[in-house]
Amino acid sequence: MNSKHKKTIILLSWVILCGLFACGGKSGDDKNKDIPKPEPNTQEKAFFTPNPQALSEQKVGQLSIGDSAPYFNLPGVDGQYHSLEEYQDAQVLVINFTCNHCPTAQAYEDRFIQAVKDYQDKGVAFVAISSNSPIGILPEELGYTDLSDTYPEMIVRAQDKAYNFPYLYDGDKHEFSLAYGPTATPHVFVFDQNRKLTYSGRIDDSEKPGTGQAEDLRLAIESTLNNQPLPDQQAILPSFGCSIKWAWKNQYGEKVNAAWKEKPVTLNKIDLSELENLLKNDSDELLLLNFWATWCGPCIVEYPEFIEIQRMYGDRNFHFVSISLDDPNAAEKVLKFLKKKYSAVNNYLVNTEDKYEIIDLVKNDWDGSLPLTLLIESGGKVAYKVPGSIDPLKLKKAIVNHPLMGRYY
C-alpha cells in the first residue's frame, strides 16, 4: 500500500471517529437540537388548596328583603368552582349556610336533602356554603361529630350523606360569606328569579330530626315561585344553631389550647386485678382503651389522635384511658412521653412483666401485638375493636354514632 492510500485510510478513519465522538464538530447540545425532547412534566395542578388564614375582625353584612344576592365564586366538594351566574336560569335560588360539625346543622341535613329532591325539577336551585374557618374550631366543639370543617372533611361529609346539591367552601377568608351575613348554621337565604332576597332565616322551628319538614323553607320557596311576597313577620326569622366560626374569633381557642397544655400529666401503675375491673367498665359511659408502648412505632405516631378524641368527646358520656405495656421499671420514660403529648387523661402502666397474663386477661382475640384499641360499653361489652393502627375517622364515627352518644342534642 503506497503512502497516498495510507493517508486516505487514516483520514477516513479520523472522519468516522469524529462522527462518533463529535471530535472538532458539533457539541453534544448542538447534536441534540434536532432530537425531539420529552415533554416536561405538565401534571395538572391541584384543583384547590385550602389556606385558612387568621384575620382581623371584619364587618359582617346583613341582607334585607329585596336586596340582591351577593356574588360568589367558590370551590365545591365536587372538584369544581361554582358561581352565582351558574344558577341564572333557576326561578328560585336557595343558599344554605351550614357546616359539618354543628349538631343543629346535622339535624337539618335530611330535611334539606328532601327539599332538594322535591323542588330541583321545579325551577329551584340549591347551594350550601360552609363559611367556618377551621382555625377557629376547638376539639371541644366537635363533641357531636366525627368531622371538623376543613375542606377535605367537607368532601367526606358530602359523600357520607350523598348530598344532592353543591357544597362550597368559604373558610379561608370568608370572602363572599361576609356579604350575606349568616348568623348561625344552618341559615337559609331564598332569592327570586331576579336574585332579590325573599326570605332569610331558619329551615323550620323544630330542631329534633323527625319533628319538622322544613316548613318555613318550603313556604318561602312556594311563595317565591308564585311571586307572592311573604308577610313581614315571616320573611325574616331567627336561625337557631351554632355561631359562625369567623377567623378572628380564635382568641378563646388559643386560651383553651394553652390551658390544656398546662394540665398536669400523671402516670399510675395498675395491677392485673385492677385492669380486669377496668375492662368491665362499671361506669355509665363509653370507655376507650388504648394499649401501647413507647417502643411501638405505630403507637407513638397515632397517640395524639387519642388526646384529640378525648378533648372532642370528654364532656359527654365518654372517657379515654391510656394503658402502657412498657416494662414496669420504665415509668420515667413512659411519663416523659406522655407529658410530651399533653396526655392529661388517666394514664396507666401495667405492673407486671408477664405480657401473656395481660393477653389472657384482655382476650377479644388479641394476639398480643400493639397497638390495641377497644371501645367498651357499660358492663364490659366491646363495641368496637382495632388491632393495629386506628383509622381516626372510623373510630370517631364508632364513638359518635353509638347510642350513648349521638349527633344531636
348 beta partners: 268, 323
**What is the predicted pLDDT for the residue at 253?**
86
Question: 124-130 and 167-169: which strand pairing?
Answer: parallel
Flag the least confident range among 16-25, 141-150, 175-184, 295-304: 16-25
Q: Which residues of 319-355 are buried (b: 16+ CB within 10 A; e: fewer)?
A: bbbbbbbbbeebbeebbebbeeebbbbbbbbbebeee
The 10 Å Cβ neighbour count of residue 189 is 24
Q: Is residue 20's pLDDT more than 50? A: no
pTM summary value: 0.86
**What is the predicted pLDDT for the residue at 217?**
98
Flag the least confident range among 35-49, 69-83, 322-336: 35-49
Q: What is the pLDDT of residues 197-218, one digit of tens each?
A: 999 999 999 999 989 999 999 9
**What is the predicted pLDDT for the residue at 4?**
42
- C-alpha radius of gyration, the chain, whole number: 31
The pLDDT confidence band at residue 45, using thresholds 50, 70 and 90, is low
Q: What is the mean pLDDT of residues 123-143?
A: 96
What does pLDDT average to over the chain? 90
